[in-house]
Structure 1
Amino acid sequence: MKNTTMKTAWVTGGSSGIGLELTQRLLKDKFQVCIFAHAGIEQAVANFKKISPSVCGFEVDVQNESTMDAKFAEAVATFGTPDLLINSAGISIAKNFDEMTSQEFERQININLVGSRNVAHAALPHLKQAVQQGKRPKIVFIASAAGLVGCYGYTGYCASKFGVIGLAEVLRMELRSQKIDVAVVCPPEVDTPLVTEERKTGSPVTAALKQLGGGTMPVDKACKEIYEGIFANEFMIIVGTQLRILTKLSRILPDTYRGQIDKKLDQIIKKFAS
């Protein structure tokens, strides 16, 4: 049932990982939440209803904008226009460039980057309607530390997440005059099912190099920072002290940063080669 006194959030990728954790926090904060995902929706909604009855779920493929048009229209009919849209849908295939097929590369681009575009574009009419209703809606893109600095073994993933940050940067400027806010989240590796699956094929060199960015964060700790950043009106939400330092170094002293990374990478490769 639509409740006009409650704020409404839409979360893509809301059935697992970061999207699931953020949905739980939104429900505890008395939001009405619609989750959109390609799998696991029924179980996720059943679990969310233990927190609040103000939740519903829709099956979508972010690669197909027309399916989202229909589901977003259903979501508006259910809970009204969104105050907040979080795009957390994404995949990672951790393979070196020479091991990755063109299909695997394109799949990451299509889901992570083109999917982010599709979500924003399909939601835009409803966000504009929300503005007309007196709301100040916000789009939040979940990118990655891999969109800020390159990471060995992440050719497709880095390319897609660098693109997401670029997309968010431009939308922040273009939508500002339309009173729609934009933010982008850059966490380090977060302990989610996506990461668990990735470790089955990922390079040990990649795993060792990730420690420079702070290693793997527990999902609840990472999402606490993300959630606070969303409502603190930050544009770029960089999660974790170590990653914030690393990112600043890469921007202020890029040659020094790359020199340190190269040195560490040479040590890691030598270790695994011996």
Structure 2
Amino acid sequence: MKNNGAKTAWVTGGSSGIGLELTKRLLKDHFQVCIFAHAGIEQAIAELQKLSPMICGFDLDVQNEIIIQAQFSEAIKTFGAPDLVINSAGISIAKNFDEMTSQEFERQININLIGSRNVAHAALPYLKQATQSSKKPKLVFIASAAGLVGCYGYTGYCSSKFGVVGLAEVLRMELRNQNIDVAVVCPPEVETPLVSEERKNGSPVTAALKQLGGSMPVEKACKEIYDGIFSSDFMIIPSTQARVLAKISRILPRLYRNQIDKKLDKIMQKLAS
């Protein structure tokens, strides 16, 4: 099954949303791809095999590094060491802080942040192995614009994604001399099953504030993300609107927060009327 002339990618969270869409693009570019997910693997593989036979899948819980190590050791037998590892596994629970249980908060930290750490740590020996073949592999974290700016109703999610951005920042420095590239993706709202589910019970305040960064169809967002992954950029922010928002929050933080407060006041007044 292995094609020695093709590059190999591993994608966690590859059975749906951003991970699935990026996998489709990788297959179209003749990558060999292993996807990892906690659910939906069989359905995703059936869909992806229509694009290429160079696809395999493994069940995975990113909270358990022992399972990750076991599945990665199986994956390497199929296509060899990865040239690219994308961690797209994640969850979101949109609740105000006083409504969120400690278990819900911890679950987001454990999957989004600790899971990112676990995937990176388990993948690192294989990325180092790829460098021995004169390759420069890449580790990519899918974070969020909510890892750059706070958003009402996202205490657990923002905390975890801010952490992912920090993790990526440090690994970029630490792995530089080992010839391993690192990038982090910080998209605004992307129309995925995760977002659709959130809208059923999410706060209208959260929904309104998220529009400051805009909302993108998954295909458009992933085209920009995919192009960014194969660029030299460390931080990849699809959509001009989201990039402008992130830049203003960083360069003019007081102005940014004042504008957020005004927006919040208007939303609250509208909901109260």
Partner of 1:130: 130
CA distance in 1, matches of 2:165, 2:201: 26
AA matched with 1:40: G
In the alignment, the residues of structure 1 paired with residue 41 and residue 239 of structure 2 have an alpha-carbon distance, to the nearest angstrom, of 30
How far 1:133 sits from its partner (Å)?
1.8
> What is the 5 A alignment of 1:166-245?
166-214=166-214, 216-245=215-244
The CA deviation string for residues 73-110 of structure 1, in whole angstroms up to 9 with x for no partner, is 11110000000000000000000000000000000000
**Would you say how many aligned residue pairs link Structure 1 and Structure 2?**
273
CA RMSD of aligned residues (A): 0.5
Deviation of 1:2 (Å): 1.3
Instruction: State the partner residue of 2:269.
Output: 270
In 2, Cα distance between equivalents of 1:152 and 1:273: 17
Equivalent position amino acid for 2:153 in 1: G
Q: What CA deviation, in whole Å up to 9, does each residue of 1:186-240 have, x standing for no partner?
A: 00000000001111221001101111111x2100000000000000121000111
Amino acid at match of 1:185: V
Match of 2:113 in 1: 113
Gaps of 5+ in 2: none
What stretches of structure 1 of length at least 5 have no aligned partner?
Answer: none
1:164 matches 2:168 = no
Equivalent AA in structure 1 for residue 89 of structure 2: A
**TM-score, length-scaled by structure 2:** 0.99
Q: 1:66-105 residue pairs with structure 2 within 5 A?
A: 66-105=66-105
What residue identity is the alignment partner of 1:230?
I
Query: For residues 12 and 170 of structure 2, what CA distance do their matches in structure 1 show?
Result: 21
- How far apart are 1:18 and its partner, in Å? 0.1
What percentage of aligned pairs have identical amino acids? Answer: 79
Alpha-carbon offset, residue 43 of structure 1: 0.8
The superposition leaves residues 108-158 of structure 1 with CA deviations (integer Å, 9 ceiling, x where unpaired) of: 000000000000000011111111122111000000000000000000000
Deviation at 1:271, TM superposition (A): 0.6
Q: Which moved more, 1:51-60 or 1:124-133?
A: 124-133
SS in 1 for 2:185: strand
